[in-house]
C-alpha cells in the first residue's frame, strides 16, 4: 500500500469508515432444511435465493426516483409500493425491463436445497454456537466473495485504490448484524492464516468493514426493493412447486445488469453473477428449471475454466 493510502486510512474514523459502494441484500424462499419440497410432500421451499444489488454511493440519491419511475412504468394507479410478489405479469415485465437500464450490478446465489435436507455444519456450530442461521451466513459469504471482488476491481479502476462497500440486509426473522459480523470475522481469521475451509473463494477484506454492515426494512429503502425484484425474478424462473409454472422471462430481462467476470461484454455470468448450488448436475433440476441457468451460461461455469478470480492486493 502506498504512503498516500496509509495516510488516508490513518486519518479515517475507524467507527465511521468511508465507502464508495452500497450493496443491498434480500432473499426469496427460506433456509429451512428439516423438510424440503422436492423431497417431502410438505416443507420449506425447494430453493433459497440470495440477491445483491450494488450501486455507487453517488447514485444513492437517485434510488427513490428509480422506484417511482418503475411504478409509473407499470401503468397502474393502484400500485403504491414495489413488491414483486404482488405485481401482475405485465407489471413484472415492465419493472424488470426498467431495472435492466439502471447503473447497477446484480448478483444472485441460487441454492436448490434437496441435497441439504437435515444437513448440519458441525464446523460452524462448534466454532460459533451463537450463530442462529449458519446457512444464511454461508450464502451471504458466497455472495460477498463476488461482490467484494467486483468492488475491488471497480474501485481500482476508478480510484486506483480499494474502496469499501456498505452492506445493508433486508430485515428478516432472527437476523442479527452482530452475529453476521462475527461470522465474517471468523472467516477473516481463517483467510489470514491461509486456512479457509472452502478453498475456492475468499472475500476482498480491504473492501468491507464491520462498521459498514446494517439492516433495514424493505419498505424503508428503495435499494432493498431492487434486491427484492432481483431475488423474486429468479425465484419465478425455477420455482415450479409454489409459484406456478416456471417463468424465466423476468430474470432474462435483467441480463444487462447481472454481473459478468470480468465485467465486460465477453465475460461469463455463470458462477459469478449467477451462482447455482449444488451445481448443474447436483441440483437435479427439471427441464423447465434449467432454462434460466442455461440462459446465463450453465452447465459451463467459472470454476470449470480453471480461473481463480480472487484478487491479492
pLDDT at position 308 over 60: no
| Predicted local confidence at residue 278, as pLDDT | 92
Residues 49-97: pLDDT tens digits?
999 999 999 999 999 999 999 999 998 888 888 999 999 999 999 999 9
Confidence of residue 5 (pLDDT cuts 50, 70, 90): very low
Neighbours of 120 (CB within 10 A): 11
The answer as to whether 89 is a domain residue is yes
The answer as to whether 310 is a domain residue is no
Which ranges of 114-201 does DSSP label H, i.e. alpha helix? 122-127, 134-159, 177-192
The answer as to whether 198 is a domain residue is yes
Q: Which domain holds residue 129?
A: 15-305
Please report, rounded to a whole number, the percentage of residues in the chain having pLDDT higher than 90.
Answer: 59
Residue with the larger pLDDT of the pair 282 and 186: 282
The answer as to whether 77 is a domain residue is yes
For the whole model, what pTM was predicted?
Answer: 0.90
| Predicted local confidence at residue 192, as pLDDT | 75
The answer as to whether 147 is a domain residue is yes
The answer as to whether 7 is a domain residue is no
pLDDT at position 279 over 60: yes
H or E segment and range at residue 123 = helix 122-127
Residues 101-137: pLDDT tens digits?
999 999 999 999 998 776 666 666 555 556 667 888 8
| Chain mean pLDDT for the chain | 86
Confidence of residue 14 (pLDDT cuts 50, 70, 90): confident
Q: Which three cell numbers stand for residue 17?
A: 469508515
| Predicted local confidence at residue 1, as pLDDT | 40
| Predicted local confidence at residue 64, as pLDDT | 96
Neighbours of 168 (CB within 10 A): 21
Residues 195-227: pLDDT tens digits?
665 666 788 999 999 999 999 999 999 999 999
Domain count, the chain: 1
Residue corresponding to grid cell 468511508: 18
The answer as to whether 109 is a domain residue is yes
Strands 21-29 and 105-112: unpaired
The answer as to whether 312 is a domain residue is no
pLDDT at position 3 over 60: no
H or E segment and range at residue 28 = strand 21-29
pLDDT (mean) for 255-268: 88
Amino acid at each position: 500500500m502506498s504512503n498516500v493510502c496509509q495516510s488516508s486510512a490513518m486519518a479515517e474514523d475507524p467507527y465511521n469508515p468511508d465507502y464508495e459502494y452500497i450493496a443491498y441484500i434480500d432473499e426469496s424462499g427460506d433456509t429451512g432444511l428439516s423438510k424440503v419440497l422436492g423431497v417431502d410432500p410438505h416443507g420449506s421451499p425447494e430453493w433459497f435465493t440470495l440477491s445483491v444489488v450494488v450501486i455507487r454511493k453517488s447514485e444513492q440519491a437517485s434510488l427513490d426516483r428509480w422506484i417511482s419511475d418503475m411504478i409509473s412504468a407499470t401503468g397502474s394507479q393502484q400500485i403504491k409500493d414495489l413488491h414483486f410478489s404482488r405485481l401482475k405479469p405485465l407489471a413484472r415485465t415492465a419493472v424488470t425491463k426498467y431495472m435492466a437500464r439502471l447503473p447497477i450490478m446484480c448478483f444472485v446465489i441460487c441454492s436448490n436445497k434437496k441435497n441439504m435436507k437435515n444437513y448440519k455444519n458441525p464446523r460452524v456450530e462448534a466454532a460459533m454456537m451463537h450463530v442462529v442461521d449458519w446457512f444464511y451466513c454461508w450464502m451471504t459469504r458466497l455472495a460477498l466473495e463476488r461482490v467484494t471482488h467486483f468492488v475491488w476491481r471497480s474501485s481500482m479502476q476508478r480510484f486506483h485504490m480499494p474502496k469499501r462497500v456498505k452492506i445493508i440486509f433486508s430485515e428478516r426473522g432472527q437476523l442479527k448484524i452482530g452475529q453476521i459480523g462475527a461470522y465474517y470475522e471468523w472467516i477473516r481469521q481463517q483467510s489470514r492464516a491461509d486456512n479457509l475451509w472452502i478453498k475456492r473463494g475468499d472475500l476482498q477484506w480491504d473492501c468491507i468493514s464491520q462498521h459498514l454492515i446494517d439492516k433495514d426494512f424493505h419498505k424503508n429503502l428503495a435499494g432493498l426493493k431492487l434486491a427484492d425484484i432481483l431475488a423474486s425474478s429468479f425465484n419465478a424462473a425455477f420455482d415450479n412447486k409454489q409459484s406456478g409454472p416456471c417463468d424465466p422471462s423476468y430474470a432474462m430481462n435483467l441480463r444487462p445488469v447481472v454481473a459478468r467476470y470480468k465485467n465486460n461484454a465477453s465475460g461469463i455470468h455463470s458462477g459469478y453473477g449467477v451462482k447455482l448450488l449444488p451445481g448443474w448436475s447436483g441440483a437435479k433440476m427439471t427441464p423447465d428449471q434449467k432454462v434460466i441457468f442455461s440462459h446465463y451460461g450453465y452447465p459451463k461455469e467459472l470454476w470449470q475454466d480453471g480461473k481463480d478470480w480472487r484478487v491479492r492486493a
